[in-house]
Structure 1
Amino acid sequence: TTESQVHRELASGLSMPVGFKNGTYGTVQMAIDGIGAAAGEHHFLSVTKQGVAGIVATKGNPFCHVILRGGSSGPNYDADSIARVAAQLEAAGLPVRIMVDCSHANSGKDHEKQPEVAESIASQVAGGDDSIFGVMMESFLLDGNQKHSQSQGSAGLVYGQSITDKCMSWERTEPLFERLAEAVR
Protein backbone atom coordinates (compact mmCIF):
# COMPACT_ATOMS: atom_id res chain seq x y z
CA THR A 1 0.00 0.00 0.00
CA THR A 2 2.99 2.34 0.41
CA GLU A 3 3.29 2.50 -3.38
CA SER A 4 -0.47 2.80 -3.99
CA GLN A 5 -1.49 6.22 -5.30
CA VAL A 6 -5.04 5.65 -4.03
CA HIS A 7 -3.76 5.14 -0.48
CA ARG A 8 -1.44 8.14 -0.75
CA GLU A 9 -4.39 10.30 -1.83
CA LEU A 10 -6.58 8.99 0.99
CA ALA A 11 -3.76 9.63 3.50
CA SER A 12 -3.56 13.23 2.23
CA GLY A 13 -7.09 13.82 3.52
CA LEU A 14 -6.61 12.42 7.01
CA SER A 15 -5.93 14.72 9.95
CA MET A 16 -3.96 12.09 11.85
CA PRO A 17 -0.53 10.46 11.63
CA VAL A 18 -0.08 7.91 8.85
CA GLY A 19 2.95 5.63 8.59
CA PHE A 20 4.54 4.49 5.33
CA LYS A 21 6.57 1.29 5.64
CA ASN A 22 9.78 0.67 3.77
CA GLY A 23 9.61 -1.85 0.92
CA THR A 24 10.00 -5.59 1.46
CA TYR A 25 13.59 -5.41 0.19
CA GLY A 26 14.32 -2.75 2.80
CA THR A 27 14.36 0.23 0.43
CA VAL A 28 13.01 3.43 1.94
CA GLN A 29 12.57 5.66 -1.11
CA MET A 30 9.03 4.45 -1.83
CA ALA A 31 8.00 5.37 1.73
CA ILE A 32 9.59 8.81 1.37
CA ASP A 33 7.78 9.27 -1.96
CA GLY A 34 4.52 8.24 -0.26
CA ILE A 35 5.00 10.79 2.51
CA GLY A 36 5.74 13.49 -0.05
CA ALA A 37 2.63 12.61 -2.06
CA ALA A 38 0.41 12.49 1.03
CA ALA A 39 1.69 15.90 2.15
CA GLY A 40 0.31 17.51 -1.00
CA GLU A 41 -3.19 18.54 -2.01
CA HIS A 42 -5.22 16.09 -4.10
CA HIS A 43 -8.56 15.86 -5.93
CA PHE A 44 -10.02 12.43 -6.59
CA LEU A 45 -13.24 10.45 -6.91
CA SER A 46 -14.34 9.10 -3.55
CA VAL A 47 -17.22 9.13 -1.10
CA THR A 48 -18.04 12.55 0.35
CA LYS A 49 -18.89 13.32 3.98
CA GLN A 50 -22.55 13.07 2.93
CA GLY A 51 -21.99 9.47 1.77
CA VAL A 52 -22.34 10.06 -1.97
CA ALA A 53 -19.83 9.67 -4.78
CA GLY A 54 -18.09 12.89 -5.67
CA ILE A 55 -14.83 14.68 -6.21
CA VAL A 56 -13.00 15.02 -2.91
CA ALA A 57 -10.42 17.76 -2.32
CA THR A 58 -7.74 17.23 0.33
CA LYS A 59 -5.33 19.73 1.87
CA GLY A 60 -2.43 17.34 2.47
CA ASN A 61 -1.33 15.51 5.59
CA PRO A 62 1.68 16.96 7.43
CA PHE A 63 1.68 14.13 10.00
CA CYS A 64 3.10 11.25 7.94
CA HIS A 65 6.20 9.28 8.89
CA VAL A 66 8.44 6.40 7.82
CA ILE A 67 8.12 2.99 9.45
CA LEU A 68 11.30 0.92 9.28
CA ARG A 69 10.41 -2.78 9.28
CA GLY A 70 13.61 -4.24 7.84
CA GLY A 71 13.57 -6.20 4.62
CA SER A 72 15.03 -9.13 2.74
CA SER A 73 18.34 -7.25 2.83
CA GLY A 74 18.24 -7.41 6.66
CA PRO A 75 17.29 -5.21 9.61
CA ASN A 76 17.27 -1.42 9.36
CA TYR A 77 16.98 -0.25 12.96
CA ASP A 78 20.71 0.28 13.62
CA ALA A 79 22.09 3.81 14.13
CA ASP A 80 23.60 3.96 10.62
CA SER A 81 20.30 3.00 8.96
CA ILE A 82 18.39 5.51 11.07
CA ALA A 83 20.88 8.28 10.19
CA ARG A 84 20.65 7.44 6.46
CA VAL A 85 16.85 7.60 6.49
CA ALA A 86 16.89 10.84 8.51
CA ALA A 87 19.23 12.37 5.91
CA GLN A 88 16.98 11.18 3.06
CA LEU A 89 13.91 12.72 4.70
CA GLU A 90 15.75 15.97 5.30
CA ALA A 91 17.02 16.06 1.70
CA ALA A 92 13.43 15.57 0.49
CA GLY A 93 12.29 18.52 2.62
CA LEU A 94 10.11 16.28 4.79
CA PRO A 95 9.80 16.11 8.59
CA VAL A 96 12.32 13.72 10.10
CA ARG A 97 10.01 11.31 11.94
CA ILE A 98 10.96 7.65 12.07
CA MET A 99 9.06 4.80 13.70
CA VAL A 100 10.77 1.43 14.09
CA ASP A 101 8.90 -1.86 13.81
CA CYS A 102 10.56 -4.19 16.33
CA SER A 103 9.00 -7.21 14.62
CA HIS A 104 9.00 -8.47 11.03
CA ALA A 105 12.39 -8.41 9.29
CA ASN A 106 13.95 -6.27 12.04
CA SER A 107 13.65 -9.25 14.39
CA GLY A 108 14.19 -11.91 11.75
CA LYS A 109 10.45 -12.66 12.15
CA ASP A 110 11.25 -14.08 15.61
CA HIS A 111 9.04 -12.54 18.31
CA GLU A 112 11.62 -13.44 20.95
CA LYS A 113 14.15 -11.06 19.35
CA GLN A 114 11.90 -7.99 19.56
CA PRO A 115 13.38 -6.97 22.95
CA GLU A 116 16.85 -6.70 21.33
CA VAL A 117 15.46 -4.30 18.74
CA ALA A 118 13.59 -2.25 21.37
CA GLU A 119 16.74 -2.08 23.53
CA SER A 120 18.77 -0.80 20.58
CA ILE A 121 16.15 1.88 19.89
CA ALA A 122 16.08 2.88 23.57
CA SER A 123 19.88 3.23 23.56
CA GLN A 124 19.79 5.38 20.42
CA VAL A 125 17.09 7.65 21.85
CA ALA A 126 18.87 7.90 25.22
CA GLY A 127 22.02 8.81 23.27
CA GLY A 128 20.28 11.83 21.75
CA ASP A 129 18.77 10.56 18.49
CA ASP A 130 15.61 12.63 18.13
CA SER A 131 14.63 11.33 14.68
CA ILE A 132 13.05 8.23 16.25
CA PHE A 133 9.62 9.08 17.62
CA GLY A 134 8.07 5.66 18.16
CA VAL A 135 8.20 1.90 17.99
CA MET A 136 5.82 -0.86 17.01
CA MET A 137 5.84 -4.21 18.81
CA GLU A 138 3.85 -7.40 18.34
CA SER A 139 2.55 -7.97 21.86
CA PHE A 140 -0.35 -9.71 23.54
CA LEU A 141 -1.11 -11.22 26.94
CA LEU A 142 0.69 -14.54 26.30
CA ASP A 143 3.78 -15.45 24.26
CA GLY A 144 3.52 -17.03 20.82
CA ASN A 145 0.42 -17.73 18.77
CA GLN A 146 -2.13 -20.45 18.11
CA LYS A 147 -4.04 -21.82 15.17
CA HIS A 148 -7.66 -20.82 14.77
CA SER A 149 -10.09 -23.15 13.07
CA GLN A 150 -13.22 -21.74 11.46
CA SER A 151 -15.08 -24.98 12.19
CA GLN A 152 -14.17 -24.97 15.90
CA GLY A 153 -14.85 -21.30 16.50
CA SER A 154 -13.44 -20.16 19.83
CA ALA A 155 -13.58 -23.64 21.38
CA GLY A 156 -10.12 -24.74 22.42
CA LEU A 157 -8.52 -21.32 22.03
CA VAL A 158 -6.25 -20.10 24.80
CA TYR A 159 -7.44 -16.74 26.11
CA GLY A 160 -4.85 -14.01 25.60
CA GLN A 161 -2.79 -15.71 22.90
CA SER A 162 -2.63 -14.36 19.35
CA ILE A 163 -4.35 -16.15 16.48
CA THR A 164 -2.29 -14.24 13.92
CA ASP A 165 1.42 -13.36 14.28
CA LYS A 166 3.56 -14.59 17.16
CA CYS A 167 3.64 -12.02 19.93
CA MET A 168 5.65 -11.25 23.05
CA SER A 169 3.83 -11.74 26.33
CA TRP A 170 2.81 -8.77 28.43
CA GLU A 171 5.43 -9.83 31.01
CA ARG A 172 8.13 -9.37 28.37
CA THR A 173 6.59 -6.20 26.93
CA GLU A 174 6.11 -4.18 30.12
CA PRO A 175 9.85 -3.83 30.92
CA LEU A 176 10.44 -2.63 27.36
CA PHE A 177 7.92 0.18 27.88
CA GLU A 178 9.77 1.11 31.07
CA ARG A 179 13.13 1.11 29.26
CA LEU A 180 11.78 3.21 26.37
CA ALA A 181 10.19 5.68 28.81
CA GLU A 182 13.52 5.93 30.64
CA ALA A 183 15.26 6.66 27.34
CA VAL A 184 13.16 9.74 26.58
CA ARG A 185 13.55 11.34 30.01
Structure 2
Amino acid sequence: MFKYIQKIPHPDEVKEIMPLSNELKLIKEKRDQEIKKIFTGESDQFILIIGPCSAHCESSVLEYVSKLGKLQDKVKDKILMIPRVYTNKPRTTGEGYKGMLHQPIPNQAPDMLEGIRKIRSLQMKVIKASGLTSADEMLYPTNYPYVEDLLSYIAVGARSVENQKHRLTVSGVEVPVGMKNPTSGDLLVMLNSIKAGQLSHNFIYNGYEVETSGNPLAHGILRGAVNQYGRNIPNYHFEDLMYLAEKYGERGLLNQALIVDANHANSMKQYQEQPRIALEVMKSRNYNPLIKKMVKGLMVESYLVEGKQSENGTVKGQSITDACLGWDQTERLVYDIMEQL
Protein backbone atom coordinates (compact mmCIF):
# COMPACT_ATOMS: atom_id res chain seq x y z
CA MET A 1 0.00 0.00 0.00
CA PHE A 2 1.23 3.51 -0.87
CA LYS A 3 0.55 6.48 1.35
CA TYR A 4 0.57 9.69 -0.70
CA ILE A 5 2.26 12.39 1.40
CA GLN A 6 2.64 15.43 -0.85
CA LYS A 7 2.66 16.20 -4.55
CA ILE A 8 6.10 16.94 -5.95
CA PRO A 9 6.20 19.85 -8.44
CA HIS A 10 7.50 19.41 -11.98
CA PRO A 11 11.22 20.17 -12.46
CA ASP A 12 10.36 23.20 -14.61
CA GLU A 13 8.36 24.67 -11.74
CA VAL A 14 11.24 24.23 -9.32
CA LYS A 15 13.73 25.75 -11.75
CA GLU A 16 11.44 28.72 -12.25
CA ILE A 17 11.30 29.31 -8.49
CA MET A 18 15.04 28.66 -8.04
CA PRO A 19 16.67 29.77 -11.32
CA LEU A 20 20.36 29.55 -12.11
CA SER A 21 21.85 33.03 -12.58
CA ASN A 22 23.53 34.01 -15.84
CA GLU A 23 26.85 34.25 -14.02
CA LEU A 24 26.61 30.67 -12.78
CA LYS A 25 25.38 29.47 -16.18
CA LEU A 26 28.55 30.80 -17.78
CA ILE A 27 30.72 29.04 -15.19
CA LYS A 28 28.83 25.80 -15.83
CA GLU A 29 29.17 26.09 -19.62
CA LYS A 30 32.91 26.76 -19.37
CA ARG A 31 33.45 23.88 -16.95
CA ASP A 32 31.41 21.48 -19.09
CA GLN A 33 33.58 22.26 -22.11
CA GLU A 34 36.80 21.82 -20.14
CA ILE A 35 35.67 18.45 -18.77
CA LYS A 36 34.41 17.26 -22.15
CA LYS A 37 37.78 18.00 -23.77
CA ILE A 38 39.51 15.72 -21.27
CA PHE A 39 37.21 12.82 -22.12
CA THR A 40 37.56 13.36 -25.85
CA GLY A 41 41.36 13.62 -25.64
CA GLU A 42 41.55 17.28 -26.67
CA SER A 43 43.01 18.14 -23.26
CA ASP A 44 45.62 16.19 -21.31
CA GLN A 45 44.47 17.47 -17.91
CA PHE A 46 43.78 14.77 -15.33
CA ILE A 47 40.42 14.61 -13.56
CA LEU A 48 39.99 14.26 -9.81
CA ILE A 49 36.40 13.60 -8.71
CA ILE A 50 36.93 14.26 -5.05
CA GLY A 51 34.91 14.98 -1.95
CA PRO A 52 32.83 13.50 0.86
CA CYS A 53 31.01 10.20 0.60
CA SER A 54 27.77 12.09 1.23
CA ALA A 55 26.86 15.76 1.51
CA HIS A 56 24.92 15.82 4.76
CA CYS A 57 25.87 19.25 6.13
CA GLU A 58 25.69 22.31 3.89
CA SER A 59 28.16 24.48 5.83
CA SER A 60 30.78 21.72 5.91
CA VAL A 61 30.40 21.03 2.20
CA LEU A 62 30.79 24.72 1.37
CA GLU A 63 33.90 24.99 3.57
CA TYR A 64 35.34 21.92 1.85
CA VAL A 65 34.67 23.10 -1.72
CA SER A 66 36.06 26.55 -0.90
CA LYS A 67 39.35 24.87 0.05
CA LEU A 68 39.13 22.72 -3.07
CA GLY A 69 38.62 25.79 -5.26
CA LYS A 70 41.79 27.39 -3.89
CA LEU A 71 43.72 24.14 -4.38
CA GLN A 72 42.39 23.90 -7.93
CA ASP A 73 43.99 27.24 -8.77
CA LYS A 74 47.38 25.85 -7.71
CA VAL A 75 47.18 22.70 -9.86
CA LYS A 76 45.05 23.91 -12.78
CA ASP A 77 47.74 23.35 -15.41
CA LYS A 78 47.61 19.59 -14.88
CA ILE A 79 44.52 18.70 -12.82
CA LEU A 80 40.83 19.51 -13.11
CA MET A 81 38.88 18.83 -9.94
CA ILE A 82 35.20 17.99 -9.77
CA PRO A 83 33.82 18.09 -6.21
CA ARG A 84 31.74 15.13 -5.11
CA VAL A 85 28.50 16.61 -3.78
CA TYR A 86 26.49 13.41 -3.38
CA THR A 87 22.97 14.17 -2.23
CA ASN A 88 21.49 10.70 -2.82
CA LYS A 89 22.96 7.66 -1.08
CA PRO A 90 22.27 4.03 -1.98
CA ARG A 91 22.00 1.79 1.05
CA THR A 92 22.70 -1.92 0.79
CA THR A 93 19.64 -2.94 2.82
CA GLY A 94 17.66 0.30 2.43
CA GLU A 95 18.42 1.24 6.05
CA GLY A 96 20.23 4.35 7.22
CA TYR A 97 20.75 7.88 5.93
CA LYS A 98 19.74 8.09 2.27
CA GLY A 99 21.09 11.54 1.59
CA MET A 100 20.03 15.17 1.67
CA LEU A 101 17.27 14.61 -0.89
CA HIS A 102 15.49 12.23 1.48
CA GLN A 103 16.45 13.88 4.74
CA PRO A 104 17.45 17.54 4.49
CA ILE A 105 18.42 17.22 8.14
CA PRO A 106 19.89 13.82 9.16
CA ASN A 107 17.91 11.89 11.77
CA GLN A 108 14.78 13.90 11.07
CA ALA A 109 11.74 12.70 9.15
CA PRO A 110 12.04 12.48 5.35
CA ASP A 111 10.79 15.50 3.40
CA MET A 112 11.59 15.06 -0.26
CA LEU A 113 10.05 18.32 -1.44
CA GLU A 114 12.26 20.25 0.97
CA GLY A 115 15.10 17.92 -0.06
CA ILE A 116 14.74 18.97 -3.70
CA ARG A 117 14.91 22.62 -2.71
CA LYS A 118 17.86 21.93 -0.42
CA ILE A 119 19.99 20.08 -2.97
CA ARG A 120 19.30 22.61 -5.71
CA SER A 121 20.24 25.42 -3.36
CA LEU A 122 23.39 23.59 -2.22
CA GLN A 123 24.63 22.89 -5.75
CA MET A 124 24.24 26.58 -6.65
CA LYS A 125 26.08 27.64 -3.49
CA VAL A 126 28.92 25.23 -4.34
CA ILE A 127 29.50 27.00 -7.65
CA LYS A 128 29.45 30.41 -5.96
CA ALA A 129 31.79 29.31 -3.16
CA SER A 130 34.38 27.53 -5.30
CA GLY A 131 33.94 28.31 -8.98
CA LEU A 132 33.64 24.54 -9.44
CA THR A 133 30.67 22.53 -10.69
CA SER A 134 29.83 19.23 -9.05
CA ALA A 135 29.42 15.52 -9.50
CA ASP A 136 26.47 13.64 -8.01
CA GLU A 137 25.17 10.09 -8.25
CA MET A 138 22.09 9.35 -10.31
CA LEU A 139 20.41 7.16 -7.75
CA TYR A 140 16.95 7.92 -9.17
CA PRO A 141 16.68 8.90 -12.87
CA THR A 142 13.45 10.80 -12.15
CA ASN A 143 15.35 13.20 -9.85
CA TYR A 144 17.97 14.23 -12.40
CA PRO A 145 15.85 16.93 -14.14
CA TYR A 146 15.77 18.93 -10.90
CA VAL A 147 19.55 19.47 -11.03
CA GLU A 148 20.53 18.82 -14.65
CA ASP A 149 21.49 22.47 -15.20
CA LEU A 150 23.85 22.39 -12.19
CA LEU A 151 25.93 19.21 -12.49
CA SER A 152 28.97 18.64 -14.69
CA TYR A 153 29.43 14.93 -13.95
CA ILE A 154 27.10 12.04 -13.11
CA ALA A 155 27.92 8.64 -11.65
CA VAL A 156 25.71 5.57 -11.97
CA GLY A 157 26.38 3.32 -9.00
CA ALA A 158 27.24 -0.36 -8.83
CA ARG A 159 23.70 -1.29 -7.79
CA SER A 160 22.06 0.78 -10.54
CA VAL A 161 24.26 0.09 -13.54
CA GLU A 162 22.20 -2.90 -14.72
CA ASN A 163 18.93 -0.98 -14.47
CA GLN A 164 17.29 -0.25 -17.83
CA LYS A 165 15.91 3.15 -16.83
CA HIS A 166 19.32 4.35 -15.71
CA ARG A 167 20.94 3.21 -18.93
CA LEU A 168 18.31 4.88 -21.09
CA THR A 169 18.40 8.11 -19.09
CA VAL A 170 22.19 8.30 -19.47
CA SER A 171 21.69 8.33 -23.24
CA GLY A 172 20.01 11.74 -22.96
CA VAL A 173 22.43 13.35 -20.49
CA GLU A 174 24.75 15.99 -21.98
CA VAL A 175 27.65 15.69 -19.51
CA PRO A 176 30.02 12.77 -18.85
CA VAL A 177 28.42 9.85 -17.03
CA GLY A 178 30.53 7.23 -15.30
CA MET A 179 29.02 3.74 -15.23
CA LYS A 180 30.47 1.76 -12.31
CA ASN A 181 31.14 -1.93 -12.57
CA PRO A 182 28.44 -3.85 -10.65
CA THR A 183 29.16 -5.20 -7.18
CA SER A 184 29.70 -8.63 -8.76
CA GLY A 185 32.66 -7.16 -10.65
CA ASP A 186 31.37 -8.28 -14.06
CA LEU A 187 33.09 -5.87 -16.46
CA LEU A 188 30.94 -7.02 -19.38
CA VAL A 189 27.89 -5.68 -17.56
CA MET A 190 29.65 -2.32 -17.24
CA LEU A 191 30.62 -2.35 -20.92
CA ASN A 192 27.03 -3.16 -21.93
CA SER A 193 25.84 -0.25 -19.81
CA ILE A 194 28.31 2.11 -21.47
CA LYS A 195 27.17 0.95 -24.90
CA ALA A 196 23.52 1.45 -23.96
CA GLY A 197 24.30 4.96 -22.71
CA GLN A 198 26.04 5.84 -25.95
CA LEU A 199 23.12 4.75 -28.15
CA SER A 200 19.91 6.64 -28.96
CA HIS A 201 16.67 5.38 -27.36
CA ASN A 202 12.92 6.03 -27.22
CA PHE A 203 11.23 5.70 -23.81
CA ILE A 204 9.01 7.44 -21.25
CA TYR A 205 10.80 10.13 -19.24
CA ASN A 206 9.67 13.07 -17.13
CA GLY A 207 6.05 12.53 -18.22
CA TYR A 208 6.84 12.44 -21.95
CA GLU A 209 7.69 10.02 -24.70
CA VAL A 210 11.25 11.03 -25.56
CA GLU A 211 13.97 10.22 -28.05
CA THR A 212 17.57 10.66 -26.89
CA SER A 213 20.65 11.53 -28.91
CA GLY A 214 22.97 9.07 -27.17
CA ASN A 215 25.77 10.17 -24.85
CA PRO A 216 29.25 9.67 -26.34
CA LEU A 217 30.76 10.70 -22.99
CA ALA A 218 29.43 7.64 -21.15
CA HIS A 219 32.40 5.72 -19.74
CA GLY A 220 33.42 3.21 -17.06
CA ILE A 221 34.37 3.51 -13.40
CA LEU A 222 36.27 0.68 -11.73
CA ARG A 223 35.30 0.47 -8.04
CA GLY A 224 36.30 -3.06 -7.11
CA ALA A 225 33.91 -5.94 -6.50
CA VAL A 226 32.53 -8.28 -3.86
CA ASN A 227 32.63 -12.05 -4.36
CA GLN A 228 30.05 -14.66 -3.35
CA TYR A 229 31.56 -14.82 0.13
CA GLY A 230 31.31 -11.08 0.70
CA ARG A 231 35.04 -10.48 0.27
CA ASN A 232 36.28 -7.39 -1.54
CA ILE A 233 38.16 -7.84 -4.82
CA PRO A 234 40.18 -4.88 -6.11
CA ASN A 235 40.23 -4.20 -9.85
CA TYR A 236 42.62 -1.24 -10.16
CA HIS A 237 45.84 -3.21 -10.75
CA PHE A 238 47.86 -3.07 -13.98
CA GLU A 239 46.43 -6.36 -15.26
CA ASP A 240 42.85 -5.16 -14.66
CA LEU A 241 43.49 -1.94 -16.56
CA MET A 242 45.12 -3.76 -19.48
CA TYR A 243 42.22 -6.22 -19.68
CA LEU A 244 39.72 -3.39 -19.82
CA ALA A 245 41.75 -1.50 -22.44
CA GLU A 246 41.61 -4.61 -24.64
CA LYS A 247 37.86 -5.05 -24.10
CA TYR A 248 37.22 -1.40 -24.88
CA GLY A 249 39.04 -1.88 -28.18
CA GLU A 250 37.06 -5.00 -29.03
CA ARG A 251 33.72 -3.27 -28.37
CA GLY A 252 34.53 -0.24 -30.53
CA LEU A 253 32.88 2.12 -28.05
CA LEU A 254 32.67 5.82 -28.87
CA ASN A 255 34.49 6.83 -25.71
CA GLN A 256 37.11 4.49 -24.29
CA ALA A 257 37.68 6.51 -21.13
CA LEU A 258 37.94 5.26 -17.57
CA ILE A 259 37.86 6.65 -14.04
CA VAL A 260 39.31 4.56 -11.19
CA ASP A 261 37.59 4.76 -7.80
CA ALA A 262 40.28 4.57 -5.11
CA ASN A 263 37.84 3.69 -2.30
CA HIS A 264 34.95 1.22 -1.87
CA ALA A 265 35.89 -2.38 -2.70
CA ASN A 266 39.16 -1.25 -4.30
CA SER A 267 40.42 -0.08 -0.91
CA MET A 268 38.78 -2.97 0.95
CA LYS A 269 36.80 -0.17 2.68
CA GLN A 270 40.09 1.04 4.19
CA TYR A 271 39.99 4.74 3.33
CA GLN A 272 43.64 5.29 4.30
CA GLU A 273 44.66 3.10 1.35
CA GLN A 274 43.37 5.61 -1.20
CA PRO A 275 46.68 7.49 -1.65
CA ARG A 276 48.58 4.25 -2.22
CA ILE A 277 45.99 3.04 -4.73
CA ALA A 278 45.91 6.38 -6.53
CA LEU A 279 49.68 6.41 -6.95
CA GLU A 280 49.74 2.80 -8.16
CA VAL A 281 47.23 3.74 -10.86
CA MET A 282 49.41 6.71 -11.81
CA LYS A 283 52.44 4.41 -12.14
CA SER A 284 50.47 2.02 -14.37
CA ARG A 285 49.32 4.98 -16.41
CA ASN A 286 52.88 6.22 -16.90
CA TYR A 287 54.15 2.73 -17.72
CA ASN A 288 51.75 1.90 -20.56
CA PRO A 289 50.49 4.30 -23.27
CA LEU A 290 47.18 2.42 -23.65
CA ILE A 291 46.43 2.85 -19.97
CA LYS A 292 47.55 6.48 -20.06
CA LYS A 293 45.17 7.22 -22.91
CA MET A 294 42.27 5.38 -21.22
CA VAL A 295 42.53 6.44 -17.55
CA LYS A 296 41.25 10.01 -17.48
CA GLY A 297 41.05 10.40 -13.73
CA LEU A 298 40.51 9.14 -10.22
CA MET A 299 37.65 9.23 -7.73
CA VAL A 300 38.64 9.87 -4.10
CA GLU A 301 36.54 10.16 -0.94
CA SER A 302 37.77 13.08 1.14
CA TYR A 303 36.37 15.57 3.64
CA LEU A 304 37.54 18.12 6.21
CA VAL A 305 38.09 15.59 9.00
CA GLU A 306 39.33 12.05 8.34
CA GLY A 307 37.36 8.92 9.19
CA LYS A 308 33.64 8.65 9.86
CA GLN A 309 31.15 9.11 12.68
CA SER A 310 27.65 7.87 13.44
CA GLU A 311 24.61 9.56 11.94
CA ASN A 312 24.17 11.26 15.32
CA GLY A 313 27.74 12.54 15.29
CA THR A 314 28.53 16.20 15.88
CA VAL A 315 32.02 16.49 14.35
CA LYS A 316 31.86 19.21 11.72
CA GLY A 317 33.19 18.10 8.36
CA GLN A 318 33.36 14.36 9.11
CA SER A 319 31.47 11.76 7.10
CA ILE A 320 28.40 9.98 8.45
CA THR A 321 28.54 7.34 5.70
CA ASP A 322 31.83 5.91 4.32
CA ALA A 323 35.08 7.01 5.95
CA CYS A 324 37.09 9.67 4.08
CA LEU A 325 40.57 11.14 3.97
CA GLY A 326 41.03 14.36 5.93
CA TRP A 327 41.96 17.66 4.31
CA ASP A 328 45.72 17.50 5.04
CA GLN A 329 45.92 14.00 3.51
CA THR A 330 43.86 15.19 0.55
CA GLU A 331 46.09 18.18 -0.20
CA ARG A 332 49.19 16.01 0.00
CA LEU A 333 47.65 13.42 -2.34
CA VAL A 334 46.69 16.05 -4.95
CA TYR A 335 50.28 17.32 -5.08
CA ASP A 336 51.63 13.74 -5.24
CA ILE A 337 49.35 13.01 -8.20
CA MET A 338 50.43 16.20 -9.94
CA GLU A 339 54.07 15.10 -9.68
CA GLN A 340 53.16 11.97 -11.67
CA LEU A 341 51.62 13.93 -14.55
TM-score, normalised by the number of residues in structure 2: 0.49
* 2:338 aligned residue: 181
1:58 matched to 2:212? The reply is yes
CA offset digits 1:107-164 (Å, max 9, x no partner): 1111111111011012122334221111111100111011123xxxxxx601111111
Aligned to 1:137, what secondary structure does the other structure show?
A: strand
Q: Could you say which residue in structure 2 is the equivalent of 1:6?
A: 165
Query: 1:125·1:183 contact (CA, 8 Å) conserved in 2?
Result: no
Aligned to 2:245: 86
Q: How does 1:96-115 map to 2 (within 5 A)?
A: 96-115=256-275
Cα RMSD over matched residues? 1.2
The number of equivalent residue pairs is 173
Amino acid at match of 1:146: Q
The residue aligned with 1:42 is: 201
Q: 2:321 and 2:284 mapped to 1: Cα distance?
A: 30
Q: Do residues 167 (structure 1) and 330 (structure 2) align?
A: no
The aligned residue for residue 306 of structure 2 is 143
- Corresponding letter in the other structure for 2:269: K
Quick check: 1:122–1:179 contact (8 Å CA) kept in 2? no
AA aligned to 1:169 is G
SS at match of 1:145: coil
In 1, the alpha carbon distance for the partners of 2:210 and 2:259 equals: 29
Equivalent in 276, 295, 311 of residue 132 of structure 1: 295
Could you list the per-position Cα deviations for residues 160-181 of structure 1 after superposition, in whole angstroms to 9, with x for gaps in the alignment? 1111110011111112111222
In the alignment, is residue 23 of structure 1 matched against residue 23 of structure 2?
A: no
* In structure 1, C-alpha distance between the alignment counterparts of 2:282 and 2:329, rounded to whole Å: 15
What letter is aligned with 1:63? L
Higher helix proportion (structure 1 or 2): 2
**Structure 2: segments with no counterpart, 5+ residues:** 1-159, 228-232
Equivalence for 1:119 = 279
Distance 1:102 1:37 in 2: 25
Shift of 1:56: 0.8
Instruction: Quote the Cα distance in structure 1 between the aligned partners of 2:336 and 2:242.
Output: 22
- Deviation readout 1:59-84 (Å, 9 max, x if unpaired): 10000111001112511101110010
- Give the CA deviation at 1:96: 1.8
Partner amino acid for 2:304?
L
TM-score w.r.t. length of structure 1: 0.89
| Corresponding letter in the other structure for 1:16 | V
Structure 2 SS opposite 1:66: strand
Which secondary structure state, in structure 2, belongs to the residue aligned with residue 35 of structure 1? helix
The answer on whether the counterparts of 1:143 and 1:167 sit within 8 Å (CA) in structure 2 is yes
Q: Distance in 1 between matches of 2:334 and 2:181?
A: 24
Is there any run of 5+ residues in structure 1 with no aligned partner, and where?
A: 48-52, 150-155
